Structure 1
Amino acid sequence: MKSLQLQLTIGLLLSLIVSFIVLWSMTGSTLQQLAEDYLAGHLAHDGESIMQAVSLTADQQIAVDTTIVEPVYKRPLSGNYYLVTTSAGSIKSDSLAGQGFEVPLLSSGQTLRFFNPGPDGQPLLILAQAFSLKGVRVTVAVAEDFSKALGMIDAVQQGYTKLALALLMALIAIQIIILRAGFKPLKKIQHQLQALEEGELYQLETDVPKEVVGLVNEVNDLLRIMDQRLQRKRNSLGDLAHALKTPLTVLQQLAHEDEITHHTDVQAQLITQTSNMHRIIDRVLKRVRLAGPGSVYTSFDVEQEITDLIHAMKRIHHDKQLLIHAEFNGVKSLMIDREDMLELTGNLMDNACKWCERQVVIRFHADNQLLIVVEDDGNGAPDSALPALSQRGIRLDERIDGQGLGLSIAQAITDQYDGALTFSRSAALGGFCVQAVLHLRSASI
Structure 2
Amino acid sequence: MKSLQRRLSVALVISLIIIFPTLWWLTDSTMQDIAEKHVVSHLAQEAESVLAATQADKTGKITLETKQTSPTYLQPFSGQYYQLHSDGEVIRSRSLWDMELAIPDLAEGEKRRLYLSGPRQQSLLVMAYGYNRHDRPLVVAVAEDLSPTLAFIKPFQSRFMLIALVMLLLLIIVQIIILNSVFQPFKRIKRQVNALEQGEVDRLDTDVPKEVSPLVEAINWLLDGLDAQEQQPVQLSHNYLNALKHVIKPPVAELQQLPDEKTGQSGPDTYHSLQAQNADAEHVFESAFWVDPDPSIIGSDIEREILTLINVLESMYQEKNLDITFIMPQTDVLLTGSEDMLELSGNLLKNACKWAQSKVRLSVEIDQTIHLSIEDDGPGISETGMIDLAQQNIVLDQATSGYLLGLTTARLIAQQHGGQLKLRQSDDLGGHCVEVVLPLA
Q: By how many angstroms is 1:134 displaced?
A: 2.6
How far the C-alpha of 1:202 sits from its partner, in A, is 1.4
Q: Who is 2:98 aligned against?
A: 98
Contact 1:86–1:139 at 8 Å: present in 2 too?
A: yes
Q: How does 1:166-245 map to 2 (within 5 A)?
A: 166-229=166-229, 232=232, 235-241=235-241
> Per the alignment, in what secondary structure is the counterpart of residue 199 of structure 1?
coil
Q: Does the CA contact (< 8 Å) of 1:116 and 1:124 recur in 2?
A: yes
Instruction: Report runs of 4+ in structure 1 exceeding 6 Å deviation.
Output: 242-246, 268-273
Residues 237-281 of structure 1, C-alpha deviations (whole Å, 9 max, x = no match): 2355579999xxxxxxxxxxxxxxxxxx9xx89987665443223
Q: Amino acid of the residue matched to residue 287 of structure 2?
A: R
- Three-state SS of the structure 2 residue aligned to 1:211 is coil
1:304-319 correspondence to structure 2 within 5 Å: none
* Structure 1 pair 221–137 and aligned structure 2 pair: CA distance change class (3 A): same
Q: Matched residues in 1 for 2:59 and 2:211: separation?
A: 90
- Partner of residue 87, structure 1: 87
- Alpha-carbon distance in 1 for matches of 2:151, 2:204: 64
Deviations 1:312-333 (A, max 9, x none): xxxxxxxxxxxxxxxxxxxxxx
Deviation at 1:107, TM superposition (A): 0.5
**Pair 233,118 (structure 1): closer, same or farther in 2 beyond 3 Å:** farther
Q: Partner of 1:26: helix, strand, or coil?
A: helix
CA distance in structure 2 between the aligned counterparts of 1:15 and 1:70, rounded to whole angstroms: 51
Contact 2:84 2:140 in 1 (8 A): yes
CA distance in 1, matches of 2:62, 2:292: 124
1:64 to 1:235, Cα distance in 2 relative to 1, 3 A: farther
Q: 1:146 and 2:141 equivalent?
A: no
The corresponding residue for 1:26 is 26
Deviation at 1:101, TM superposition (A): 1.2
Aligned residue in 2 for 1:45: 45
Distance, in Å, in 2 between the alignment partners of 1:159 and 1:47 is: 35
Which residue in the other structure is 1:13 paired with? 13
Identify the match of residue 290 of structure 2 among 279, 282, 294.
282
Q: Which runs of 5+ in 1 are unaligned?
A: 247-264, 286-445
Percent of residue pairs identical: 36
CA distance in 2, matches of 1:161, 1:34: 19
Aligned-partner Cα distance in 2 for 1:284–1:168 = 74
Label 1:182 to 1:276 Cα distance change in 2 as closer, same or farther (>3 A): closer
Q: How does 1:49-60 map to 2 (within 5 A)?
A: 49-60=49-60
For 2:243 and 2:100, the matched residues in 1 are separated by: 118
After superposition, what is the alpha-carbon deviation per residue over 1:18-69, rounded to whole angstroms, capped at 9, x for unaligned? 1111111111111111111110000000110110000111222110001111
The CA distance in 2 between the partners of 1:245 and 1:28, in whole Å, is 88
Equivalent residue letter for 1:33: D
Change (3 A) 1:146 1:279: same
RMSD: 3.3
Report Cα offsets for 1:74-102 as digits up to 9, x if no partner. Answer: 11111111001111301111111222212
| Secondary structure at 2:28 match in 1 | helix
Quickly say closer, same or farther: Cα 1:95–1:228, change in 2 above 3 A.
same
C-alpha separation between the residues in 2 aligned to 1:272 and 1:29? 97
Q: Give runs of aligned pairs for residues 355-366 of structure 1, distance below 5 A.
A: none
Alignment of 1:289-368 (within 5 A): none
The amino acid of 2:83's aligned partner reads L
Aligned residues of 1:117 and 1:124 also touching (Cα < 8 A): yes
In the alignment, the residues of structure 1 paired with residue 244 and residue 85 of structure 2 have an alpha-carbon distance, to the nearest angstrom, of 123
Report the counterpart of residue 308 of structure 2 in structure 1.
none
The 1:241/1:132 distance shift into structure 2, 3 A limit, reads closer
**Structure 1, residues 196-224: CA drift from partner, whole Å, max 9, x if none?**
11111111111111111111000111222
| Other structure's SS at 1:63 match | strand
TM-score normalized with structure 1 length: 0.56
1:234/1:12 Cα in 2 relative to 1: closer, same or farther (>3 Å)?
Answer: farther
Contact 1:241 1:284 in 2 (8 A): no
Q: Which of structures 1 and 2 has the bigger CA Rg?
A: 2
Residues 16 and 168 of structure 1 are in contact (CA less than 8 Å); yes or no, is this contact kept in structure 2?
Answer: yes
The answer to whether the 8 Å contact 2:238/2:291 transfers is no
Shift of 1:152: 2.2
SS at match of 2:26: helix
Conservation of the 8 A alpha-carbon contact between 1:108 and 1:132? yes
Give the SS at the match of 2:190.
Answer: helix
- Matches of 1:209 and 1:119, distance apart in 2: 69
* Residue matched to 2:331: none
- Matched residue, 1:129: 129
For the Cα contact (< 8 Å) 1:100–1:119, is it kept in 2?
no
1:419-439 Cα shifts (integer Å, max 9, x gaps):
xxxxxxxxxxxxxxxxxxxxx
Displacement of 1:8 in angstroms is: 0.9
Give secondary structure in 2 for the equivalent of 1:148: helix
Q: Is the 8 A contact 1:80 1:145 kept in 2?
A: yes
Distance 1:271 1:15, change over 3 A: closer
SS of equivalent residue, structure 1 residue 39: helix
TM-score by length of 2: 0.56
1:155 paired with 2:163, answer no
The number of residues matched between the two structures is 272
- Which whole-Å deviations, capped at 9, do the CAs of 1:161-182 have from their partners, x for residues lacking one? 0000001111111111111111
Q: Which amino acid aligns with 2:290?
A: D
SS at match of 1:219: helix
- Paired with 2:87 and 2:244, the residues of 1 have a C-alpha distance of 126
Partner of 2:66: 66
- List alignment gaps of at least 5 residues for structure 2: 247-270, 294-441
Corresponding residue SS for 1:203: coil
Q: Structure 1: how far apart are the matches of 2:104 and 2:175?
A: 56
Contact 2:76 2:96 in 1 (8 A): yes
